[in-house]
């Protein structure tokens, strides 16, 4: 299903009141930017828009969503259970090859709840900031770390301090590699 909103505030208010849906994408109607969302908790997304309004332009939005059996009503975002991620992809001017892991990261995050809060995009590159809900099972956490190591530029798991430090922030170069799968897209 699709629903259109005139701006950021009506979108945020709707997200704060709706339940039983899975948000898959939010598109800026007057632009090509697309926020990639995979969450069953619209109230969390509403709070994220409120707290980080500068990352959500005040323009018309089109939301793609589906009905869900999950009726979570938790209103607040617990950042101690969120992972901050940065990823990108670019097209090299010299030979047209694509580098970066953003597209593959979004594909691999299919089963995780996440919100891509900012995408800076032009013809040559895309840079994205994501918030991922930290899994509760140790094996899922390790699997997610492996995905982030392969495709993200940087990520930070909370260590309880409330700050990003060298203890919880990882910057790696794997998200810069050339991926053969991306060359055909």
- Dist. CA 141–CA 82, nearest whole Å: 12
Token readout for 127 is 């840079």
User: Which of these, 49, 29, 18, 19, lies nearest to 115 by C-alpha position?
Assistant: 49
| Predicted model pTM | 0.61
Mean pLDDT value across the chain:
79
Higher per-residue confidence, 154 vs 185: 154
Count of positions (residues) in the chain: 185
129 CB-near residues (< 8 Å, 6+ apart) = 55, 84, 85, 86, 116, 117, 118
Q: Is the separation of the CB atoms in 78 and 85 below 8 Å?
A: no
- Dist. CA 80–CA 108, nearest whole Å: 23
Q: How far apart are the first and last CA of the chain?
A: 27
In this predicted model, what pLDDT tens digit does every residue of 20-57 receive, in sequence order?
888 877 777 766 566 667 677 788 788 878 877 777 77
CA dihedral 7, 25, 105, 182 (to 10 degrees): -100
Most confident stretch, 44-53, 115-124, 133-142:
133-142
User: Between vectors from CA 147 to CA 144 and to CA 153, what angle results, nearest 5°?
Assistant: 115
CA dihedral 31, 14, 111, 125 (to 10 degrees): 20
Instruction: Determine the distance from the C-alpha atom of residue 91 to the mean position of all C-alpha atoms in its chain, rounded to a whole number.
Output: 21
- Judge whether residue 150 has pLDDT over 80: yes
State residue 158's pLDDT score. Answer: 84
- Dist. CA 18–CA 40, nearest whole Å: 10
In this predicted model, what pLDDT tens digit does every residue of 61-112 receive, in sequence order?
888 888 877 655 444 567 778 898 999 888 888 888 888 888 889 889 888 8
State residue 183's pLDDT score. Answer: 43
């Amino acid at each position: 299903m699709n629903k259109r909103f005139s701006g950021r505030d009506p979108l945020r208010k709707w997200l704060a009141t709706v339940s039983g849906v899975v948000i898959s994408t939010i598109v800026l109607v007057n632009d090509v930017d697309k926020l990639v969302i995979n969450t069953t908790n619209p109230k969390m997304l509403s709070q994220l828009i409120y707290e980080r309004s500068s990352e959500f332009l005040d323009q018309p939005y089109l939301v793609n969503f589906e009905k869900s059996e999950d009726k979570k009503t938790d209103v607040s975002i617990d950042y101690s259970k969120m992972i901050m991620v940065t990823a990108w992809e670019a097209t090299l001017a010299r030979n047209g090859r694509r580098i970066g892991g953003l597209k593959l990261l979004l594909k691999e995050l299919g089963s995780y709840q996440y919100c891509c809060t900012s995408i800076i995009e032009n013809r040559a590159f895309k840079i994205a900031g994501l918030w991922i809900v930290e899994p509760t099972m140790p094996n899922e956490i390790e699997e997610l770390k492996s995905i982030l190591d392969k495709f993200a530029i940087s990520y930070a798991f909370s260590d309880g301090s409330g700050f990003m430090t060298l203890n919880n922030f990882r910057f790696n170069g794997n998200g810069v590699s050339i991926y053969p799968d991306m060359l055909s897209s």
